[in-house]
């Protein structure tokens, strides 16, 4: 079993429901358990600014799936949620990003692990810090330290909407 960290986000339709359904789908992947769930965060759009705010979360999985197989499963969950890849950083029903897998460093045409832009994105760091503040990402640093240096302006923790188990 390998620890895998997945970021979840969405800003179209009913993002809260879509994130919860995606977490349920992740828990039902073969050889996979959801170990931790973050709180839910409302965050400003990134990249394409003329779109609704996002809801973001993160989960820690324990999985037997290889990185490419897990990526394929994430893409299938997105597709079932109605994800249309019209533009990069544009609005979406659901976005699932494989951020990191313990003891895996990978860089190919489909997947780079750890995700190379984690340190740039408060919408990833906030929920990731909920579930793994001491996680050290090769080449980037410790999650809590990366978050301390990130611009979190406009990000809001939805405390009343606790997703953590």
Which one from 42, 92, 121, 130 is the annotated catalytic residue? 92
Catalytic residue status for 97: yes
Mean pLDDT (10-residue bins), the chain, 165 residues = 97 94 97 96 88 96 98 95 74 94 94 94 97 96 97 88 49
The whole-model pTM stands at 0.93
Catalytic residue status for 103: no
Catalytic residue status for 92: yes
Distance of alpha carbon 100 from alpha carbon 93, whole angstroms? 22
Domains of the chain: 2-157 (3.30.70.560)
Catalytic residue status for 121: no
Which one from 95, 102, 117, 136 is the annotated catalytic residue? 95
pLDDT of residue 164: 45
pLDDT of residue 163: 53
Which one from 83, 88, 121, 145 is the annotated catalytic residue? 83
pLDDT of residue 165: 46
């Amino acid at each position: 079993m390998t620890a895998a960290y997945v970021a979840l986000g969405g800003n179209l339709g009913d993002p809260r429901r879509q994130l919860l359904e995606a977490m349920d789908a992740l828990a039902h992947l073969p050889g996979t358990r959801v170990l931790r769930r973050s709180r839910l965060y409302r965050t400003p759009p990134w990249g394409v600014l003329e779109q609704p705010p996002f809801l973001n979360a993160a989960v820690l999985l324990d999985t037997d799936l290889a990185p490419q197989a897990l990526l394929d499963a994430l893409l299938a969950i997105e597709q079932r949620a109605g994800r249309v890849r019209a533009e990069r950083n544009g609005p979406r029903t659901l976005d699932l990003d494989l951020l990191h897998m313990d003891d895996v460093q990978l860089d190919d045409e489909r997947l780079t692990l750890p995700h190379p832009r984690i340190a740039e994105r408060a919408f990833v760091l906030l929920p990731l810090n909920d579930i793994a503040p001491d996680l050290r990402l090769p080449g980037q640093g410790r999650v809590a330290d990366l978050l301390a240096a990130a611009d979190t302006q406009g990000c809001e923790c939805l405390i009343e909407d606790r997703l953590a188990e």
